[in-house]
Structure 1
Amino acid sequence: MTSNPLVDFLASYGPQASSNNLYDEFVVEAAKRTGCAALEIDQPLTAELIGLLQSATPKCVILTGTAGDGKTYTARKVAEALSGEARVWSNTQKIYTLPKPLPSGRSALFIKDLSEINEAEKNRIFPDIMAALTGETTDVFVICVNDGHLLKFFRDRGEAELHDRFAEMLRSDAREDPNGHFWLVNMSRQSHRHLVDQIVDGVADHDGWAGCEGCPALADKENPCPIRCNRDILLRNDPASMRARLKDMIRMAAADGRHLSIRQLILLTVNILLGDAKASSTLLTCRKAKMRSRNNVYDLTNPFANAFGVNLTERERRQYGAFTVLSEYQVGFETNNVFDHGLLWGDDSLPDCPWYGERIFAPIRNMYRGDPSRHSADFQRAIVDQRRRLFFSLDPQSPKVRINPRRSPWNLSVFKHGSDYIAMVEGLLGAGMPQQIARQLLRGLNRMMTGEMTITDDRLWITAPSGVYLGSEIPLLVQHAGHPRTGGISTMSFLVSGNHRVGPSDNGRPPVIRVATRGREDRAVDLALRPTLVECLLRIADGALPASFSSECQREVERFQLQVATEVRRAFELDGATPMPKEVRMLDGNLQEHAIAIMAEGDAW
């Protein structure tokens, strides 16, 4: 069996202590040492920044975001393109000056990481940075820095105006300086869903795989190399593939505020490919792969388990955001009668896998059938892995799922309505909000806000949260929202946030329900439709009780109620009127408003 240097090179990107070349400054050195080409991630932002700096009026650029989001990598690619050099700075170089002027005649300086520069050097270069950011000089800076250090840098030097401007731009996801002197790009405001294909292809379709030619394991059909098996699974790119589910999970995680950096996505991909669950091992080498195939222990190299870091200890898993985030989906631990019955007794309609399906599951299942008490623990672990395999191997939009929603792979996770969430986001970014999902969300919200199991789903009834007004012991109708009606003052709409960008720059933020009163969009109230809240609302619409969920979702809805109630009362006050409280009643499942009999029309409230 030959040893492919690409395997060792990719392992350096994986979850192990020696993974230094996950940091951009080590990538070039590692590639040179192994003779393998470094992974290339084509950020659309790179071309955009090159165009900006080559224009007649270039601007300063500040690249911010969390560690691993490609700030230094992007800056290096821009510098290479502008200089025409293959390598523009060394690992020890903190500031790089472009050797030739930009087309506009201006000088360009690149700060690889502002936080790595000592205080004396920061103080020395600070006046030059200030002059460039305020348009007092023609120099152009490209600065890489995380957002916290960026704000501290200017706060410590008493520049309150710029500090506050940066803080507001970061809050609102604005990119262009109002005064036109710089761009502020938060690279963490992306779901990175559109980069998954690039990352997976960069790993699984790397030119270095040609080094496997001549290896006997490549021709072994009975006991193939597990690395090559996992590679084939990663290369699939259809709705019923591992890649498709990963993209959905990454998008949903970003919308729920759990951003995964590019560095973590590379680490995740490498672990899926090379993960090895044998004790004292973490990642496969060519030698280990030969041993696993020879001993027919493919359960140790299962990519569907590797996606959740099963090859690592619990302590090791907690060190990596990729496994922490994906573990929150609880894939494999959710029982489902349709799938469990099919796995236990056989169902030809369920997909199999020649390496990680019946081949590794059938022996454990047979032992469990023979002696359940003795083999229960092994069987439970095995069926978790099989549920995970089905989660990554089924198309949630297939005809079988449309006929029987219980066959959706999302039923094998805590997000039973995961496919509805994806459909909602894609609809709002394309043809429009799917009406069936909209109606379910409205029904769930109405049930949460009124405490009634109503079937009303054509408009939103905003009521004052319990306890908001002293002496109020019944729900008080604030106003209808949604379909305009005679005398109505509020309207409701589903939309993506104003700074949401479609395509490669998708910031991953969740859609919102927006309620505007008297057409005042500047004072509109938004309810962010995070995946967790959407799951809560859709389950309540299906008949679950709100108490079944965490109080976090209830607090979000109550805060939304209070904010809308405040805006509606304010609108009445501007008109010189006083709104009358009205009781909300349910008749035949539908919500209706009724005047409170004890109060006469026109009495003050």
Structure 2
Amino acid sequence: MTTSHTEWINFLRQYGPVPRNDNMYDETIQRVVNKKKIKPILIEAKYLPELIENFRSEQPKSVILTGTAGDGKTYHCREVWLELGGTYEQWEVPGNIKMLPIGNKTLYVIKDLSELEDHERDHLVLFAQAIKQQRPDVLFLIAANDGQLIEALKQVNEHSDALGIREVIEEMLVDEQKEHAQYGVRLYNLSRISAAWALPQVIDAVLNHAGWQDCSQCQYRDHEDIRQRCPIWENKKRLEDVDGTKTIRNRLVDLLELCEINSVHLPIRQLLLLVSNMILGHPDVKDKLMRCQDIPDIIEKRTTVKASIYRNVFGENLTERRREATDVFNTLGRFGIGNETSNKVDNILIFGNDDPELKEIYQEIMLSDEYYGADATFRTQQKAYLEGVAEDGETEFLALVRSQRQRLFFSIPPEKADDLKLWELTTFQYAGEFLTKVYRAIHQGAKVPTPILSRLVRGLNRISTGLLTRTQDKLILATSGSHSQAKVSKIFESFISVMRDRGEFVQIKAEPSGKLYLEVSLSYPAVPAVKLHLQLIRYEFLSRVAEGALPGSFSRECYEDILAFKSRLLKQLDTRKKLEEEDFETNSDSMSFHMIKINAEGVLDKKTVEVLF
């Protein structure tokens, strides 16, 4: 095993969940790169070409880079600096503000707005003058978190030259404007970079790194005895998915896309941490990340299974406290993969070796993977469990079963995903359907399948009425007679047709921002449609209720959200009724209302009750 190989693995460990000062993350990595002469892990800086083009144009504008820690603000700033002629040595000189001549202008680069000293605050007034065109000889490139940016601008807001700048920048942030018509400034929110887009870039950057070439000298790389193989190299190969299906990568992208739909953002730094941990994680080594010198001991103690990439993706190599404190593992952990299961999968894992009906699929998804699947330890524990002679009761085998569920989520081939009910291995059983048949379908210009829309309407009707109705071709609006938040509502107010009928309809659409919403139109042009933001948790909730779950048993917050949506619908219905009364004046000496009744098939109808006076 060569020294350079050891240095590459040690360098990769720097990206993992090791203790460090996060404020110095980029600088720490760069110093290792320069000291060890290791090629850095290069990931496409999404906005870099656009930034360079701006600063080299005839009418350049100042730029603000915002985003959360780890989104790449410092990285973008440094790469712009180097591309425009600055040197790395100049960049490394202590100080938060750098100056660089660009033609007849001076570019000020503020590496981190939060690090500005009190005596440097005057630069924000200069920035205000620059974007107001009062100082055309000056340009700025500023890296800042959103809150820090507004707070810093607030401190100079009383200055005559900076007056109104805070409001302008705040408006750009809120409205997600990249440019402002009246000011010479651009704003890039790096938190808008999709983690689902970035992850494949990160994986490729790590897997294609030149450092792996030195593994050819390692005796454990592809040892003919599978028990003697290096788990680091094994994890790398699995992440590559040499068979071409890229199953691990695609499932991870699915999970990250679902997170984004739920407005959970993961910066590139967390993705680098994830990939590093997937390859190097092991609970029994220093910092829980393997080094080359750890491999002989791991092989000797037969603990290679603890290095499983399928466990590491959830940070299972770390302590529970460290796992929960790390954003990416905390986020992925919410999917419950490993803790959730389906009867079908557990039957295969536990009884597959002895059951003739399960033998074939057991061979395919368990016995075929001798390294992380049904290895000798798993088969021994399985036998002891079934014979009731396990020394520790069920604990150790059930822990192995949990790990296998995690492995299966990332290894079940796409063509068997539906048959094996892949998404039942997560907290969100309808997540796969929501992602492919709803979210992606709409963004590709297709319509949501009718059975799915019908199921969502059925769920809404069950929550609105508190009754186990099967009605799904029309949305039912009902009250209890006193308030709309009652658990059971039997006074009928109106039907809203799901299919388009005289201006009434229910449909799922996407906003320009990409967010999905369920829209209910009440037919009158003067009555605005009512929208319900539709993300994964609400979709799961409505689907579960439609299939028989009690509304309060899944999510109290979702239940209250749907009741609030119902209240908005009733308010708009009341507006429509007033418009109808204006159009068709009626006089009557009686009043009638309708009671909801449910027939044997679960279909709702109404029964009229008339009151004379």
**Per the shorter chain, which TM-score range?**
0.7 to 0.9
- Correspondence list, 1:266-415, <5 A: 266-278=272-284, 282-346=288-352, 347-349=359-361, 350-352=364-366, 353-359=369-375, 360-370=377-387, 371-372=389-390, 374-395=392-413, 397-398=414-415, 400-402=416-418, 404=419, 407-415=420-428
Partner of 1:99, secondary structure, is strand
Indicate the residue corresponding to 2:589 in structure 1.
none
**553-562 or 234-243, larger mean C-alpha shift:** 234-243
Q: Deviations over 1:477-511 (max 9, x none)?
A: 3562643323x5x54432222223xxxxxxxxx42
CA distance in 2, matches of 1:270, 1:22: 19
Shift of 1:564: 3.2
Does residue 511 of structure 2 align to residue 493 of structure 1?
A: no
- Shift of the alpha carbon at 1:231? 0.5
Any residues of structure 2 matched to 1:164-175 within 5 Å, and which?
A: 164-175=167-178
State the TM-score, normalized to the length of structure 2: 0.86
Tell me which residue corresponds to 1:548: 553
Structure 2 counterpart of 1:484, one-letter code: R
Partner residue, 2:500: 484
Q: 1:461 to 1:45 in 2, by over 3 A?
A: farther
2:430 aligned to which of 417, 420, 430? 417
Taking a change above 3 Å as real, the CA distance of residues 336 and 109 of structure 1, as seen in their structure-2 partners, is: same
Does residue 217 of structure 2 align to residue 217 of structure 1? no
Please identify, of 441-450 and 589-598, the stretch whose mean Cα deviation from structure 2 is larger: 589-598
Match of 2:68 in 1: 66
Cα distance change, pair 213–469 in 1 and its aligned pair in 2 (3 A): closer
**Alpha-carbon offset, residue 80 of structure 1:** 2.6
Closer/same/farther in 2, CA of residues 482 and 141 from structure 1, 3 Å limit? farther
Equivalent residue in structure 2 for 1:127, among 125, 128, 141: 125
Gaps of 5+ in 1: 501-509, 601-605
Preserved contact between residue 239 and residue 246 of structure 2 (Cα < 8 Å): no
Q: Verify the 8 A CA contact 1:462 1:481 in the aligned structure 2.
A: no
CA contact (8 A) 1:97 1:108 kept: yes
Q: Secondary structure at the match of 1:308?
A: coil
Shift of 1:116: 0.9
2:356 aligns to what? none
Q: Which residue of 1 aligns with 2:44?
A: 42
Residue pair 1:68, 1:263 contacting (<8 A) in 2 also: yes
SS at match of 2:224: coil
Q: Taking structure 1 as reference, are residues 595 and 536 closer, same or farther at Cα in structure 2, changes over 3 Å only?
A: same
For the structure 1 residues 469 and 106, does the alpha-carbon distance in structure 2 shift closer, same or farther, using more than 3 Å as the test?
same
Distance 1:573 1:86, change over 3 A: farther
Q: Decide whether aligned partners of structure 1 residues 282 and 514 sit closer, same or farther in structure 2, where only a CA change above 3 A counts.
A: same
Tell whether the 8 Å contact from 2:464 to 2:489 is kept in structure 1 after alignment. Answer: no
**SS class of match (1:493):** strand
Where relative contact order (Cα < 8 A, 6+ residues apart) is larger, the structure is: 1
CA shift for structure 1 position 45: 2.1
SS in 2 for 1:199: helix
TM-fit CA distance, 1:582: 5.6
Residue number in structure 1 paired with 2:208 = 205
Aligned counterparts of 2:43 and 2:247: Cα–Cα separation in 1: 22
C-alpha contact (below 8 Å) 1:277/1:312 kept by paired residues:
yes
Query: Which residue identity lines up with residue 128 of structure 2 in the other structure?
Result: M
**TM-score, normalised on structure 1?**
0.87
Change (3 A) 1:183 1:594: farther
Matched to 2:218, the amino acid is: C
Equivalent position of 2:85 in the other structure: 83
SS state at 1:142 partner: strand
- When Rg is computed on C-alpha atoms for both structures, the one with the higher figure is 2
Counterpart of 1:303, as a letter, is I
1:386-433 CA distances to partner (integer Å, 9 max, x unpaired)? 1110011114x52x444x3xx122111111112112112111111423
User: What corresponds to 1:23 in structure 2?
Assistant: 25
The alignment of Structure 1 onto Structure 2 pairs a total of residues equal to: 580
Distance 1:36 1:174 in 2: 39
Q: Percent identity?
A: 28
Which amino acid is 1:366 matched to? K
1:438 is the counterpart of 2:453: yes
Q: Does 2:542 correspond to 1:537?
A: yes
Q: Structure 1 pair 84/571, CA: closer, same or farther in 2 (3 Å)?
A: farther
Does the Cα contact within 8 Å between 1:80 and 1:88 map onto a contact in 2? no
Alignment of 1:461-476 (within 5 A): 461-463=476-478, 468=483, 474-476=490-492
Among 176, 179, 182, the alignment partner of 1:179 is 182
C-alpha spacing 1:258/1:499, structure 2 compared with 1 (3 Å): closer
How far did 1:326 drift? 1.2
User: Aligned match of 1:455 in 466, 470, 482?
Assistant: 470
How far residue 456 of structure 1 moved from its aligned partner, in angstroms, is 3.2
Q: 1:374 is paired with a residue of what secondary structure?
A: coil
3-state SS in 2 of match to 1:62: strand
Instruction: Indicate how the Cα distance of structure 1 residues 468 and 23 shifts in structure 2: closer, same or farther if over 3 A, else same.
Output: farther
Q: Give ranges in structure 2 of 5+ residues lacking alignment.
A: 353-358, 585-591
